[in-house]
Amino acid sequence: MKIRDIQDHMDCDALIVFRNNQFLGQDILDEENRILELTNFSGSAGTLVIMRKKAFLFVDGRYEIQAQKQTDAKTVSVIVESAEQNFNTWLKDNLSSATITYNPWQISESRIQKLKRMLPDAKWISQPQILATPRATAFEQPLKYAGQKTADKVKELKNQMSENNCGAVLVCAADSVSWLLNLRSNALPETPIVRAMAMVTKSGKVIMFADNLVLPKDCKFEKRPLSKINSALKESGAEKIILDFATSPAIIAEMCREAKIKTVNKPDLCAILKAEKNKNELQGMINAHIKDGVAMCKFLAWFENNYQKKSEIDIVKKVLSFRKQQELFHSVSFGTIAGSGANAAIIHYQPTEKQFGKIKNNSVLLLDSGAQYQDGTTDITRTIAVGKPTKDMIEKFTIVLKAHIALSSQKFPEHTSGNRLDAICRSMMWRYGLDYKHGTGHGVGSFLNVHEGPQSMGATGNSYPLKPNMVLSIEPGYYKENNFGIRIENLVYVAKSSVSGFLNFVPLTLVPIDFKLIDKYLLNEREINWLNEYHHTTYKLIAPHLDKSEREWLQKACAPL
């Protein structure tokens, strides 16, 4: 279906299309992505408003260039959200008393409540539709990697129910259900979650709701289709249930109201617990990053002498080939970003088999990639000099490196939120009159989502406090449109500092930072010491896994500055 077809048959003023299926905020398949279908925009975030004469696509700063290139300006107007204009302010200005249609499976209860409060004179029409999900097979995440039995996790939920005098809790976030039940699946090519919801009653009974999902034979809980959530709520006998309005589709709250079940809006306890990695999960993340460091160092050693006449898609395939050699490799953790020259300035640019660029000499290659290993998830960005980089590239890279080091080396008080730490990284860029249009860091799951909440670090991020054993990225960048792009990303975990009451970051990523792009005269002694220590650790842990020529390359790449 095309936008024009929808407009010709509209019986409302506006139709809002969210980039979601019923599992809000999770990855989706291309065939489930209605925004891709209708606009050709392939970015990982966006909202589409279709009106009778025009459609409007709302994206964040990461996709400013990409959205303009992929959409037809005659049909779709791209709006890059900012402090001055965003999706909410635009609705108030344009649809304050309109009739608006939406799918309540694809928007959270908290968000639809906020929109209705914001537009009290608008008429909201709920048109429920569960998107069909392809057949998938689930498999167990072994205890040696999960670190905690499902029964113990269920016990935590039972305690929460008892504290709130509730008869059940309904967990709607697929990654939370995956963590709770120690299950993963092949439903998505890059994210091993089970696409399911789950209800836990105060007796400890667990009911999973999923479509077209084959479970391991020894699962000890009941499975029903998603369409049976309504009847299960009624059968539960619960007068009150715990429901996280931020992660639950609006239709679930509608079902509860119809069944006269009171809802207690509490943050998803599974999300909070899984963010603070247990001993096994943290060790798994450490081990996964050693494997990933080996794969990346093998690639970089190869690239140095073999980039000539290669394309961006060649790079994607070569990085994958080295990762596939590593033990416990499952898949990539997201589509690899490999941008050469001007393509590196497109923040989330991804080459495809049909559209890719050649590796440009005397420029940079921005390579943002990651992997899913059964013991952990990785995400790394390295900006690599190709030939002789320009003075401008070296200067901007060194400033981004200074910003990265500023946050990576920072001690901070317990209970400090990610949005406060974002300013530490970004302020280094501001000193030079530079900034970047994306967050500074996101949480990362353990063989789960490469983007995990509630922790994050961004100028507009949440105020959730960082806690020991949380894993996050640190990834400042700089992008010069139609010229080059730079990003330096490591994953880190939060640890208790030697200073009482303070925390600090410990690097997980173990891959050298390109010396050819560093102006050492822009670095102070403290920054040089951090870089030398980081490279010393990288060499010590990665070198034993490389062959002789690769070790020689790594020794040079990790030499003291």
- Would 437 be classed as within a structural domain? yes
Is the separation of the CB atoms in 57 and 46 below 8 Å?
yes
Kindly state whether residues 91 and 191 are assigned to the same domain: no
What b-and-e string marks burial along 147-163, b requiring 16 or more CB atoms within 10 Å of the CB? Answer: bbebeebbeebbebbee
- The predicted-structure confidence for 484-541, as pLDDT tens digits, reads as follows 999 999 999 999 999 999 999 999 999 999 999 999 999 999 999 999 999 999 999 9
pTM over 0.75: yes
In a domain, 349, yes or no: yes
- Across the strands, what pairs with 47? 18, 58
Same domain assignment for residues 400 and 289: yes
Note whether 143 and 260 are same-domain residues.
yes
If you ran DSSP here, which 8-state letter would residue 380 be given?
E
With respect to residue 246, please indicate whether it lies within any of the assigned structural domains.
Answer: yes
For residue 552, being part of any structural domain is answered with yes
Same domain for 92 and 188, yes or no, is no
* Of the residues 274, 290, 316, the one at which a domain ends: 274
| Same domain for 327 and 231 | no
346 shares a domain with 261: no
Split into its structural domains, the chain has a count of 3
One domain for residues 80 and 209: no
**Pick from 274, 290, 325: which residue ends a domain?**
274
Q: Are residues 11 and 144 located together in one domain of the fold?
A: no
Domain containing 25: what range? Answer: 3-126
The side-by-side arrangement of strands in the sheet containing 329-332 is: 329-332, 371-373, 376-377
Single out the residue in 70, 91, 126 at which a domain terminates: 126
Residue 131 lies in a domain: no
The domain that contains 351 carries what CATH number?
Answer: 3.90.230.10
Helix (H, G, I), strand (E, B) or coil at 369: strand
Q: What is the bridge-based pairing of β-strands 452-457 and 206-209?
A: unpaired
Q: Give the residue ranges of DSSP H helices in 71-123.
A: 87-94, 109-118
Q: Give the integer Cα–Cα distance in Å for 405 and 407.
A: 5
Res. 83 pLDDT band, cuts 50 70 90: confident
Q: Average pLDDT in the 71-97 region?
A: 88
Confidence (pLDDT) at 1: 64
Say yes or no: 212 and 290 in one domain.
no
Considering the domain architecture, whether residues 540 and 436 belong to the same structural domain is answered as yes
**Percent of residues, the chain, with pLDDT higher than 90:** 84
Band (463; pLDDT cuts 50, 70, 90): confident
CATH number at residue 186: 3.40.350.10
For residue range 377-419, what is the model confidence (pLDDT) as tens digits? 999 999 999 999 999 999 999 999 999 999 999 999 999 999 9
Is the residue at 561 inside a domain? no
Does an H or E element contain 330, and which?
Answer: strand 329-332
Domain assignment present for residue 533? The answer is yes
d(CA 312, CA 289): 24
Task: Work out the pLDDT band at 324, boundaries 50, 70, 90.
Answer: very high
Instruction: Report yes or no on 112 lying in a domain.
Output: yes
Say whether pLDDT at 460 is over 90.
Answer: no
Q: Mean of the pLDDT values across residues 256-266?
A: 95
% of the chain beyond a pLDDT of 70: 100
Tokens 């600090």 — which residue?
504
Check whether residue 248 and residue 289 sit in a common domain: no
Residues 361 and 494 in one domain: yes
